[in-house]
Amino acid sequence: MFMKNSWKRALALGISAVMVFPAGAMASSSSTSIHAEDVKQFQQAAKSASLPGNETKKKVEMYKANKEMEEFLNSNTFVIKYNKPIAKQVHKKAGVKLVRSLPRLGYDVIYIPKSKKFNDVLKVYQNEKTVESISPSVKYKQFAPALGDPKKSKMYHLPMLNIDQAIKQAGKHKVTVAVVDGGVDYKHPDLQGQLLPPYNAADPSKTPARDMHGTHVAGIIASKANNGLGGYGVNPNAKILPVDVFNGKAGANDYTIAEGILYAVSKKVDVINLSLGGFGSSPLVEDAIQQAIDAGIVVVAAAGNESTDVYAYPAAYPGVISVGNVDRDKMLSDSSNFGPSVDVVAPGEDIYNTGYELGKGSSYATLTGTSMASPMVAGVASLLKSKYPNLTSYDVENILEKTATDLGAKGYDTKFANGLINPVAALKLDPKSLPVQPDYSEEAVLKTAKPLKNGENSFTGNIQSPGEVHWYKVDLNENEHVQTVLEGADSYDYGMEFYFIPEGVEEGVFIEHNKSRAGEKEAYLYTAAEKGTLVIGVKDVNDNYHRAGQSTYTLTANTITALQADANTSENPVEITSFPYAKGDFTLFPAEPEMPDHDYFTFAVNEPKVLSISLSDIPGVNAALSVSMVVDEEGGEEEVVMANDNGPSKGEVLSFKAVPGVDYKITVTNEATMMDGDMGSILALLGMGGGSIDLGPATTSAFPYQFKVEERQLPADEDGWPMAEDLEESLENGTIDPQTYAEEKAEDQADFTENMIDEEYNIDKEILEKAIPYTLGEEQSGYFQVEGDEDYYKFVPTTSGVYELDIVKGSSQMPMGTILQYNEDIDALLPITEGGDDILGMILALLGGGQQTNKTTVALKAGEEYVLRVANSTYNISGDPYTIRTKKIADVPKESDTDQNSQEKAANIKQGTTYKNYFIHTGDVDYYYFKNGEAEKIHRLSIKPSNVTAAQKATIPYDLRQPMIFSGMLIEDTNGDKMIDEEEALKQVPFGPSLFEMNFEPTVDLAFKAKKHTGYFVEVRSLMSAKPNLLPYEVKLSEMKSSLRDGDGKVVNHVPQKPIALKKAKDYLYVNGYMNAEIPFGDVDHFALNVAKDKRYDITLQMESGLDGKVEIYNEKGARVASFDHYGSGDEEIASINLKKGKYFIEVSETQGRASAQSYKLTVK
């Protein structure tokens, strides 16, 4: 539902980033996961980009970064569901462009030009009976990665899942798994013979765009066994159908994904893997998945990597097997999603398999994420189908859940779901022992349904098997009603189905109702349009169950003969003459069937009053409150304030200041309210929960609501800030008329909302002087006495540490806290947190992920002066207080530098020594200084996260050990005075990712030539530095070998004059060497190998992290016999080769000509 004058509008930018931008759950290399919060941190990093001394340039870069984000956010593309094809003239009348039509699913995809207002377009389709719903087209991200198999030892998941035994238990039937993902590397040697012809769903005229993610997923499922390369897949006998829906881009549109799924259905695959997703629900994708399930295809999807229990799609759709991920110790990965929508878990952390690198091509990689866990399950599903090809999707899910190894609380739990998949147990289970899929035919349901009696009914039950539905029935006459309320156990998400069979009609009308999440109340009022029988089904929407009976629910169903709409109308409102006022007998039941209801109340005041208006919970109804005022003699009205913040079955509260001389009208309604203005953002739609505007009947209720209007006496504003014009006072004094008042109020709110997003502050010493004293560790309450109110609190920590700030909200408010630190040098307060670091938490709360908290984690220094700014992001007055709570949660580790964040205070470093440090404080920048000696030398700068044990990680809260992505620069201090002048500032060599790239590397490896007697500054910052990070990182400077010291002399046609001899060990040959620097086209070392008789050799080359070694073998005439470059940087090359008697030369090189700081080792056995 679009919200006007709502905090959801203020969060549009942040919500968009999480909804549609590809960062929520990226798989990453080198065992480092990048999580959904990265996008928010990426934007914050753009604000603090390393641009010394140039604020203008910094703002330009910040603007560019935000513009880049907006390209992903404001697509203006919508999906329309229809029951009959929509005529072209309807789209023309709406002024939209038809992007794509999917008649198999009953959808049109449209694009709304920026010149069009969304409300105007919506009205056109609302008048079309063929149109059922409109939803935003969402983008999904990739959740982000006899010869023997030399890398099998790196695949810990194979023994964990006992895959060797599972393969032996599998059947002989051919199976195909569709990988709907990024493009699969169809040239990869470990996938040769495993792939069917690939398909590009985004652009069928093009070959799929190969990428790392899709290739890795395909390899986990079915990379080849016993081919002398890599390891092997969960089912190396399966075939892969690669379906590219990303086409080399960062995000994929839902309509492209739907077409990819339909393509897989048309090819009659057995399993579909979807290692992609996002928080936005797409009915288009859901319908495509349902077609796949109806065709007998097993659909498996990644649960997401946001470390939340909020539903991610498509994994949360009914019938999809949703997979969370665990590590090698069978512990839930930090990043893995969890909760009621997850079905099973599988290994997904540090998974080694096939990969693809730009520039190199086929390779291997270690990736982390539920994207890696999902193909584990897809592979096991294919093993089951190879043995029992007639298993349905229902059967496969039932087997996997029933045979899973329990990891958490006994039975199903919301952390590990049904447990860790157990392939061997699954394959040994006799399908005949499975419960028969319930018969939910009309005849069977009517026969087994429990009857309702007239009046009140109450039933309790529990779901103890997958797909179980409990049925109830009642006969109704025309215009009779049944009001239902369903409450379930906290860990289970229950929904209802309504099936009405009119008298004398064979086929009934079906309605599915599920508006709330696990543990929340569902309610629905059904009204019979004619005489017939209503059947009510109760089910777990995620097919969860508990055999011990803990999955309990209570259904109350009241049959009602007649309901009357309330008599008040816009022309005949209820007049409120005094306060407090209370009314408890009105309902949101309309006079006209299937239309929204509006109840109206009017009042005026004879003196200024702050009024609090409250509306109680109405089961099943998403109600809204608003106050409008008459602005002209013709009775024209303008909205003053509204509240629609809490969702279905939850009440609303708003407060505002009423002034004399104005006629006010309060509206209570169940109508969806649309955001005014042009279609700048699609995101409030996503906050509806269902993900679309349902153009069907409004949700009504037979329950009367409690409505109150009370006067509140608020204390004087605590700090007198901000100093702004009191529009209510101006209106009361006649300085402005009602129309001007309404316009200026709307403008003030827009300015406030923009300020909340842009985080622009006008802060000076006056605020510091007026700020309210506060002591850390104590509770303190405050009020928002005026619209747009901001309260400031000042404090000085007595001890340094990491502190948690929590602002507990009152009614009609969404407080956001920003901490500012006084900077004595410029005599100003500078923000060190960006309006609270839990923007993602607010978004997840909007989507149904529990209560939103306003917690901020920040490192504070003892003796420093700070200010806490508290603002109400709803802009409104609040009649109830907010409460500030703070506590110290961790000590600050000792850093290697003084944390002065300046080049003058840089820590001196020496080559060959490792220096550990931390990013603790917001905007922390660490400086190091190296002074070269008498000779020019090549050095390599290495920056990487320090290795920590599992036990060490366990002592640090997850929020305080986020992954680090390093950025910064190397700056030459030409004169060696440890100062940077203007000319030297131009000699910057930046490192780390560009702000406009989404390719994050967790390490830095930078080689440079150090001039004699010259100094060098190293500036290091973390791109992900929104919170304190208690994990250390390390910096090391290493000297490179820079001369031809190997002694292999002149080389002609790969035949060296003086080849280097291999050293002898007990049963193998070996040598240690370096890749020397300053060699044109890169260093190549040559070694002699004399083969006395035909023999098989195993060759291994191990180079340091960051280098990609290559081995080539030539005969004595210079003809190449073999070349080995299968693996990537830091991954040892392993190969086997049969050599005939003779003389050979082994060449060792680095694929990109990079030099080494550490020796490599070549082994020949």
Q: Which one from 149, 181, 566, 837 is the annotated catalytic residue?
A: 181
Q: Tell me, yes or no, whether 920 and 1056 share the same domain.
A: no
User: Any residues with CB less than 8 A from the CB of 447 and at least 6 apart, and which?
Assistant: none
SS3 sequence, 142-173? ECCCCCCCCCHHHCCHHHHCCHHHHHHHCCCC
Residue 895's pLDDT is what?
67
Q: Which residue has the tokens 């291994």?
A: 1100
Do 1018 and 1077 sit in the same domain of this protein? no
Beta-carbon count within 10 A of 912 CB: 10
Check whether residue 238 and residue 356 sit in a common domain. Answer: yes
DSSP 797: -
* Phi-psi region at 976: left, alpha or beta (left = phi > 0; alpha = psi -120 to 50): left
- The reported pLDDT for the residue numbered 672 is 64
CATH of residue 1155's domain is 2.60.120.380
| Single pTM value for the model | 0.83
Nearest to 379 by CA among 423, 348, 349: 423
Catalytic, 309? Answer no
Domain presence at residue 719:
no
Number of domains the chain is built from = 7
470 is catalytic: no
Beta-bridge partners for 802: 859, 890
- pLDDT, tens digit (0-9, with 9 covering 90-100), for 27-36: 333 333 323 3
Looking at the domain assignment, is residue 51 inside a domain?
no
- CA–CA gap between residue 992 and residue 1013 (Å, rounded): 27
**CA–CA distance, 892 with 1028 (Å, rounded to integer):** 9
Question: Do the strands 239-244 and 199-200 form a parallel or antiparallel pair, or are they unpaired?
Answer: parallel
Closest C-alpha to 213, from 374, 21, 440 = 374
Q: What is the reported pLDDT for 59?
A: 39
Q: Tell whether 625 is covered by a domain.
A: yes
Return the CATH number at 116. Answer: 3.30.70.80
Q: Which of 861, 889, 917 is a domain's end point? A: 889
Any domain includes 944: yes
Query: Hey, which residues does 134 pair with through a beta bridge?
Result: 80, 693
**Residue 1033, phi then psi, degrees to nearest 5:** -125, 170
Residue 1054 buriedness (CB in 10 A; 0-12 / 13-18 / 19+): middle
Per the domain annotation, does 405 fall within a domain? yes
Shared domain check, 411 and 316: yes
In this predicted structure, what is the pLDDT of residue 378? 98
User: Is residue 335 a part of any domain in this protein?
Assistant: yes
Residue 162 and residue 256 in one domain: yes
**What pLDDT score was predicted for residue 693?**
58
Question: Which is catalytic among the residues 157, 213, 921, 1086?
Answer: 213
Report CA-CA distances (Å) from 737 to 417, 596, 663, 730, 748.
60, 33, 13, 9, 16
Compute the distance between CA of residue 299 and CA of residue 315 in angstroms, rounded to an integer. 9
Q: Is residue 217 domain-shared with residue 359, that is, in the same domain? A: yes
- 3-state secondary structure at position 1101: strand
Q: What pLDDT was estimated at residue 724?
A: 60
Instruction: State whether 836 and 942 are in the same domain.
Output: no
Please say which residue of 96, 111, 136 terminates a domain. 136
Judge whether 420 and 404 are in contact, CB under 8 Å. Answer: yes
Catalytic residue selected from 133, 362, 371, 491 = 371
User: Which of 91, 109, 136 delimits the end of a domain?
Assistant: 136
In this structure, the answer to whether residues 339 and 248 fall within a common structural domain is yes
The answer to whether 860 and 797 have CB atoms below 8 angstroms apart is yes
Say what the pLDDT of residue 898 is: 58
Same domain, 856 and 792: yes
Whether 181 sits among the annotated catalytic residues: the reply is: yes
Q: Across the beta sheet with 252-253, what order do the strands follow?
A: 252-253, 139-142, 276-277
Residues 424 and 538 in one domain: no
Q: CATH number of the domain at 265, please.
A: 3.40.50.200
Q: pLDDT at position 4, please? A: 29
From the CA atom positions of the chain, what is the Rg in Å? 33
Domain that holds residue 641: 574-675+682-712
Orientation angle between helical segments 55-73 and 38-47, nearest 10 degrees: 150
pLDDT along the chain (1165 residues), means of 10: 29 28 32 34 38 38 41 66 91 91 90 84 86 83 62 90 96 97 95 96 93 95 92 96 93 92 97 93 93 96 91 93 95 92 95 91 92 97 97 94 94 94 96 84 90 95 90 95 94 93 87 86 94 95 87 95 88 94 94 88 93 94 91 82 86 91 93 47 38 67 95 87 69 75 68 47 72 95 88 94 91 86 82 57 44 74 92 84 94 70 84 91 88 90 88 84 87 90 86 60 86 93 80 92 67 90 93 89 92 94 92 95 92 93 95 90 96
Cα gap 106→85, rounded to integer Å: 7
Q: Per the domain annotation, does 42 fall within a domain?
A: no
Query: Do 195 and 299 have their domain in common?
Result: yes
Domain assignment present for residue 35? The answer is no
Region of residue 91 (phi > 0: left; psi between -120 and 50: alpha; otherwise: beta): alpha
Summarize the chain as % helix, strand, coil (round to 5). Answer: 20, 35, 50
1062 and 936 together in one domain: no
Structure tokens at 265: 């259905």
Q: Is residue 385 within 8 Å of 178, Cβ to Cβ?
A: no
**435, 465 contact by CB (below 8 A):** yes
